[in-house]
Structure 1
């Protein structure tokens, strides 16, 4: 499958809540969750090396419409609702359309 839509999100957890935020975001890979969808090609959770409460999420989807449809679902909304309580500030998003690259997961 080809990624035709994606984004990077930077989430800043409340002080000391980085571990909880990472654990919650990783539940997005569980069966029935957004990252487990056949339309989600890339779901990568990373942590800042210098600021452990800053978390980066990279997602790549078959189509933007697929992403919006999946995130309107109950499983995604349950995760989003829990994320909000862990954040120190509003998340920053950058959308993109991949051109070329490599993944060897």
Structure 2
């Protein structure tokens, strides 16, 4: 399990990287874009679903942070925190063949979706 300090450090690195020249803004000067959401796995399949999510995240260009966390109260609930260089990068993240293949493998393991919030990351502490 990732400690709070490690999480904040990872988020800080992502945000610092995004402020470096050429990394923080897209060609159309979009702002950094974030998402936080819940994904419900079928009973007993959370670990398998998490493995697929993490594998797929390797093929997503423009992603600065893709944090997958297990809910401590619900054994099938997953929280996903994403930080993207731009909203466009997020929109394009589902297009690569590797991501499409992962989606096809993950779909039968998903029981449903929960809360979802779009965010604009503005800073960090740590």
Q: Same fold (TM over 0.5)?
A: yes
Unaligned runs of at least 5 residues, structure 1: none
Distance 1:96 1:70, change over 3 A: same
Aligned length: 98
Aligned position for 1:80: 103
Alpha-carbon distance in 2 for matches of 1:26, 1:92: 20
Q: Once superposed, which parts of structure 1, at least 4 consecutive aligned residues long, lie more than 6 Å away?
A: none
With normalisation by structure 1, the TM-score equals 0.81
**After the TM superposition, which of the residue ranges 52-61 and 69-78 deviates more from structure 2?**
69-78
Greater relative contact order (CA < 8 Å, ≥ 6 in sequence): 1
Aligned position for 2:45: 17
- Deviation (angstroms), 1:66: 1.2
Unaligned runs of at least 5 residues, structure 2: 1-16, 19-23, 25-31
Indicate yes or no: 2:63 matched with 1:40: yes
Whichever of the two has the greater Rg, that structure is 2
Higher share in helix: 2
Deviations 1:5-33, CA, capped at 9 Å, x for gaps = 01012000111111111111111244xx1
Matches within 5 A, 1:35-74: 37=61, 39-74=62-97
With normalisation by structure 2, the TM-score equals 0.68
Distance 1:56 1:16, change over 3 A: same
CA RMSD of aligned residues (A): 1.9
- Deviation (angstroms), 1:49: 0.9
